[in-house]
């Protein structure tokens, strides 16, 4: 039996990171039963620091030196404005830890920044390594070189699935790093990428490479098969006076988006926040486990979010979604991952740019979209768009299946 390791972000305190890993591992286990598929339990020290929630680690320990002053200042401000922030973070970490056993984790854990030692061990343990999905080839924060480029010839078979370099721009990258990336990725048997920005980035680095678009693996998820239900969440909402028989607006964002919701809907509907709180929410679900989070959007009549995976999982639940993208397009080649997603789904009526402040014209534009979503959700159109995009998994299945059949 061939041993296959999936190398990605899986223990970040980030719902999307967990769910994309869970989704890909579940699908590969189903499609390749003759392989031993597991998630390589690799966690860089920067991420590991976020699991130990205390005042020192919260303020200083979970981000790079490059971002330390800005991040620390932001977190000091958040604690001053919301003294309960640290307790909420502890609750969130415990919720994630409760679902980590749902991942098929490797017996050996690698909690280190020594990427060369990790790669040497992976070469001995695995017949193939699949990198992805998520922004594994973005190194604005993570060290470079790092383990996600698989920079060694010792690993026998290398694949990537829906890998993304997201906000990496080739002119900003020194020549020695360009050379390293080029040499590291050349041996890959299959280069599966998630978005058009990564296509342009790698297309210039490796002009002769065959790049295949893959959907984010959360689009492959069978929500009905998840080992969780929402009875606990429904009870929690009811205890706080939120009537599940009336429309509920979900928010996965901040005060900026919360204020916009109130300008559009006033106090007509209850607003429930997930992942991050806002003073405009009636209730904050801060203890959702990842597998609960994946389904919580089914309780909402419409979702407002600034997050990529929040967008996907809300749409997967058949919930009309308004996404306010926090990143602007740089040019035609470098569009954001959220904009790229909506382009592929042909659902751009759901897409808006998040702004520091919203003019009356901005509010009217979002108002023209959101209330109709609430009144007449076009779930069939959403479902058809998601199914069409999910079909981009097939080229990976065929390429990986061909390798499995090799002697």
State what percent of residues in the chain have pLDDT above 70.
89
Q: What confidence score (pLDDT) does residue 74 get?
A: 57
User: Is the pLDDT at 372 greater than 50, yes or no?
Assistant: yes
Q: Are residues 207 and 337 in the same domain?
A: no
Once rounded to an integer, what is the mean pLDDT over residues 30-42? 97
**Inside any domain, residue 308:** yes
Q: Are residues 284 and 327 in the same domain?
A: yes
**Inside any domain, residue 335:** yes
Q: Are residues 120 and 148 in the same domain?
A: yes
Report the range of poorest mean pLDDT among 3-17, 247-261, 317-331: 317-331
Distances (CA, A) of 27 to 24, 37, 225, 397: 5, 10, 12, 10
State what percent of residues in the chain have pLDDT above 90.
64
Domain boundary among 192, 221, 250: 221
Rounded Cα distance between 216 and 327, Å, is 19
User: Is the pLDDT at 56 greater than 80, yes or no?
Assistant: no
Q: Are residues 135 and 230 in the same domain?
A: no
Q: Are residues 349 and 246 in the same domain?
A: yes
Q: Which residues lie below 8 Å from residue 68, measured CB to CB, with a gap of 6+? A: 60
Q: Whole domain around residue 300: which residue ranges?
A: 224-388
Cα Rg, the chain, nearest whole Å: 21
Strand 249-252 with 302-305, pairing? parallel
User: Is the pLDDT at 54 greater than 60, yes or no?
Assistant: no
**Inside any domain, residue 402:** no
Once rounded to an integer, what is the mean pLDDT over residues 307-333? 88
Q: What confidence score (pLDDT) does residue 62 get?
A: 46
206-249 pLDDT, tens digit per residue, is 999 999 999 999 999 999 999 888 898 998 898 888 888 889 99
CA angle 162, 102, 254 (to 5 degrees): 65
More confident residue, 102 or 58: 102
Q: What confidence score (pLDDT) does residue 241 get?
A: 87
Length of the chain equals: 407
Q: Are residues 206 and 233 in the same domain?
A: no
Q: What confidence score (pLDDT) does residue 383 get?
A: 94
CATH of the domain at 266: 3.40.50.2000
Q: What confidence score (pLDDT) does residue 154 get?
A: 77
Once rounded to an integer, what is the mean pLDDT over residues 357-385? 87
Domain boundary among 174, 206, 221: 221
Mean pLDDT score of the chain: 88
124-172 pLDDT, tens digit per residue, is 999 999 998 999 998 765 578 889 999 877 788 999 999 999 878 788 8
Q: What confidence score (pLDDT) does residue 66 get?
A: 44
User: Is the pLDDT at 63 greater than 50, yes or no?
Assistant: no
Q: Are residues 206 and 264 in the same domain?
A: no
Once rounded to an integer, what is the mean pLDDT over residues 288-311? 95
Q: Are residues 379 and 232 in the same domain?
A: yes
Identify any residues that bridge with 42 across adjacent strands, giving them in sequence order: 110
**Inside any domain, residue 30:** yes
Q: Are residues 244 and 212 in the same domain?
A: no
User: Is the pLDDT at 86 greater than 60, yes or no?
Assistant: yes
227 phi and psi, to 5 degrees? -80, 55
pTM of the predicted model as reported, rounded to 2 decimal places: 0.91
User: Is the pLDDT at 274 greater than 70, yes or no?
Assistant: yes
**Inside any domain, residue 73:** no
Q: Are residues 172 and 228 in the same domain?
A: no
Give CA 161 to chain center in angstroms: 14
Q: Please give the full DSSP string across 265-331, using - where no structure is assigned.
A: HTTSS-EEEESS--TT-SEEETT--HHHHHHHGGG-SEEEES-HHHHHHHHHTT--EEEEESS---S
Which H or E run contains 164?
Answer: none
Q: What confidence score (pLDDT) does residue 299 get?
A: 94
Domain boundary among 221, 250, 284: 221
User: Is the pLDDT at 59 greater than 70, yes or no?
Assistant: no
Confidence of residue 83 (pLDDT cuts 50, 70, 90): very low
Q: Are residues 319 and 205 in the same domain?
A: no
CB atoms near residue 253 (< 10 Å)? 28
Structural domains in the chain (count): 2
**Inside any domain, residue 299:** yes
Rounded Cα distance between 351 and 180, Å, is 36
90-121 pLDDT, tens digit per residue, is 889 899 999 999 999 999 999 988 989 999 99
Once rounded to an integer, what is the mean pLDDT over residues 260-275? 93
């Amino acid at each position: 039996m061939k041993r296959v390791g999936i190398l990605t972000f899986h223990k970040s305190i980030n719902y999307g990171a967990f769910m994309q890993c869970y989704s890909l591992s579940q699908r590969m286990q189903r499609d390749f039963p003759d392989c031993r598929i597991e998630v390589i339990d690799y966690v860089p020290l920067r991420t590991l620091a976020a699991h130990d929630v205390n005042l020192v680690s919260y303020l200083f320990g979970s981000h790079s030196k490059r971002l330390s002053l800005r991040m620390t200042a932001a977190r000091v401000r958040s604690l001053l404005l919301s003294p309960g922030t640290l307790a909420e973070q502890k609750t969130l970490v415990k919720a994630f830890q409760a679902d980590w056993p749902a991942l098929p984790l490797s017996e050996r854990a690698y909690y280190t920044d020594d990427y060369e030692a990790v790669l040497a061990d992976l070469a001995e343990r695995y017949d193939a390594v699949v990198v992805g999905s998520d922004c594994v080839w973005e190194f604005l924060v993570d060290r470079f070189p790092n383990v996600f480029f698989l920079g060694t010839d010792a690993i026998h078979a290398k694949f990537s699935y829906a890998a993304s370099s997201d906000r990496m721009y080739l002119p900003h990258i020194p020549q020695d790093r360009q050379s390293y990336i080029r040499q590291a990725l050349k041996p890959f048997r299959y280069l599966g990428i998630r978005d058009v920005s990564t296509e342009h980035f790698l297309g210039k680095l490796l002009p002769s490479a065959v790049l295949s678009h893959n959907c984010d693996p959360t689009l492959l998820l069978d929500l009905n098969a998840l080992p969780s239900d929402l009875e606990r969440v429904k009870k929690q909402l009811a205890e706080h006076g939120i009537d599940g028989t009336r429309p509920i607006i979900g928010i996965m964002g901040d005060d900026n988006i919360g204020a916009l919701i109130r300008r559009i809907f006033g106090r007509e509907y209850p607003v429930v926040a997930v992942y991050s709180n806002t003073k405009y929410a009636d209730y904050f679900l801060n203890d959702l486990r990842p597998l609960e989070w994946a389904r919580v959007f089914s309780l909402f009549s419409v979702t407002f979010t600034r997050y990529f995976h929040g967008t996907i999982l809300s749409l997967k639940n058949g919930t009309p979604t308004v996404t306010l993208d926090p990143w602007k397009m740089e040019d035609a080649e470098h569009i954001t991952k959220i904009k790229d997603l909506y382009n592929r789904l042909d659902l751009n009526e759901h897409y808006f740019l998040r702004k520091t402040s919203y003019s009356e014209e901005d509010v009217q534009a979002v108002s023209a979209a959101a209330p109709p979503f609430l009144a007449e959700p076009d779930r069939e159109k959403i479902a058809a768009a998601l199914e069409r995009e999910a079909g981009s998994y097939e080229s990976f299945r065929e390429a990986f299946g061909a390798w499995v059949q090799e002697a």
